Structure 1
Amino acid sequence: MRMPDDLHTTARGQRLPRTERRAQLLEAALRVFTENGYHQAAMDDIAARARVSKPVLYQHFPGKLELYLALIDRHASELERLVRDALALGDNKTRIRTMVAAYFDFVGHEGAAFRLIFESDLANEPEVRSRLDQIVLTCAEAMAGIIRDETELGQEEAVMIGVGLVGLAQTTARHWLSHGDTISKETATRITGALIRRGIAGFPAVSRGEAADGRESTVSPAG
């Protein structure tokens, strides 16, 4: 009986489980997409990079768009996890510093994936655009928790500011990726975090109580 293609043995004579084969294909696709761009990449190229036949590739992904979307989902989930974990730590100053560091770490370790997500040449494709927008929104909603803790802004206002601050972290991280030889990651992270904290501090926070004369008092957000 013929062995299914995705269970063909490896060079060491061991079968490659389906999950490992999928990971192998995604890694090959990431390299081809980032090197050639979506439109110039071909399924033949991806299969060749993964050292599998094209039928094996189609067993896992019915088309190039589905493969591209799977890549975005995979790496977006990792970035969202890093940001959420960062924003669950300590005081707000620590959360902001750690969130910024998460973006720079993601860029440093996953540069190709970062470009795939934030420099996509398929950004106008509705399914891709929807996923890219969701990444920003998810991270901005996490950031909105800090903003509401520190300011008198409501949820929708805090999310809008969060979108801007997440965009700041993304943009500075992308700049650092291209200019890492002129500025250290530590310096870039520190400057970006300070800028975000000062931006939040521009919105006076309502005191948890009231002033002695009955008027609402304000406190300056942590900076």
Structure 2
Amino acid sequence: MTETAEPSTTQAGRGVRLPRTARRAQLLAAAQDVFVANGYHAAAMDEIAERAGVSKPVLYQHFPGKLELYLAVLETHVDELIARVRDALESTTDNKQRVQAAVGVFYDFVDREGQAYRMVFESDLRGEPAVAEAVQRATSDSVDAITDTITADAGLDADRARLLAVGLVGLSQVTARAWLDGERKVSKEEAVALISNLAWKGIGGGFPLQHP
């Protein structure tokens, strides 16, 4: 199915037509910049449209309101974080390496340009049910993926495996943000190694692999 192209409204790109998916990506990128810089409440659709180089009617063709736009940006990053956690767990059958890869996902996420992690971990709109649900999903789906791996490989029941998974995700999130706030005084590679070694000594030492 061929996408309908939309004309560009920027002065430099006047007459250029973008496929709908490309236009949507452009709008999401502009919205992320504004939401991260200003927070949800202070962000204005006028500013987002201007940053994207489109008219407000074009912006509203894609997103009926500011909340829908915010949720679209947020869901994009939540989905990406969860996919990266799952990919990390599937990248190897060595559980020590799995722990390091999973921890590394959270450090990479907070270290990305654009500070998208602030929308996921520090949203100023958590009182909105749809936002709270999306933010919670970033943690709960990551925990679910790790729980499944621990249950299969460590011989623990789901409740105990889930507590360990919550601990690993919480440790990764909190230390990654503390590392970033501390201006990366420790290299990312060393920080990931320190935290994954701490986690592995608890998980690997107390719950050895049951199915080598």
TM-score by length of 1: 0.84
Aligned equivalent of 1:102, options 98, 102, 105: 105
Q: How does 1:3-82 map to 2 (within 5 A)?
A: 7-9=6-8, 11=13, 13-82=15-84
For 2:167, the equivalent position in structure 1 comes to 164
Q: Tell me how far 1:56 sits from its aligned partner.
A: 0.9
How far, CA to CA, are the matches of 2:86 and 2:161 in structure 1? 16
Q: How does 1:70-149 map to 2 (within 5 A)?
A: 70-90=72-92, 91-110=94-113, 112-149=115-152
Report the secondary structure of 1:80's partner residue: helix
1:196 is aligned to 2:199: yes
How far, CA to CA, are the matches of 1:119 and 1:106 in structure 2? 13
How far, CA to CA, are the matches of 2:57 and 2:160 in structure 1? 49
- Paired residues of 1:83 and 1:102 also in contact (CA < 8 A): yes
Gap change, CA 1:63 and 1:207, over 3 Å in 2: closer
Amino acid at match of 1:193: S
1:185 is aligned to 2:188: yes
Gap change, CA 1:49 and 1:207, over 3 Å in 2: closer
- Paired residues of 2:32 and 2:114 also in contact (CA < 8 A): no
Q: Tell me how far 1:204 sits from its aligned partner.
A: 4.4
- Paired residues of 1:86 and 1:95 also in contact (CA < 8 A): yes
Q: Tell me how far 1:205 sits from its aligned partner.
A: 5.3
How far, CA to CA, are the matches of 1:180 and 1:127 in structure 2? 32
1:82-117: CA deviations, max 9, x gaps?
111110122100111111112212222245111111
How far, CA to CA, are the matches of 2:173 and 2:16 in structure 1? 41
Gaps of 5+ in 2: none
Give me the identity figure in percent. 49
1:188-221: CA deviations, max 9, x gaps?
100110121123246445967xxxxxxxxxxxxx
Q: Tell me how far 1:69 sits from its aligned partner.
A: 0.7
How far, CA to CA, are the matches of 1:194 and 1:55 in structure 2? 52
Q: Tell me how far 1:53 sits from its aligned partner.
A: 1.0
- Rg larger in structure: 1
How far, CA to CA, are the matches of 1:109 and 1:141 in structure 2? 24
Gap change, CA 1:26 and 1:206, over 3 Å in 2: closer
Report the secondary structure of 1:16's partner residue: strand
Runs of 4+ in 1 over 6 A off after TM superposition: none
Total equivalences in the alignment:
205
Gaps of 5+ in 1: 209-221
- Paired residues of 1:152 and 1:203 also in contact (CA < 8 A): no
- Paired residues of 1:33 and 1:41 also in contact (CA < 8 A): yes
Highest RCO, 1 vs 2 (Cα 8 Å, sep ≥ 6): 2
How far, CA to CA, are the matches of 1:67 and 1:202 in structure 2? 45
CA RMSD of aligned residues (A): 2.2
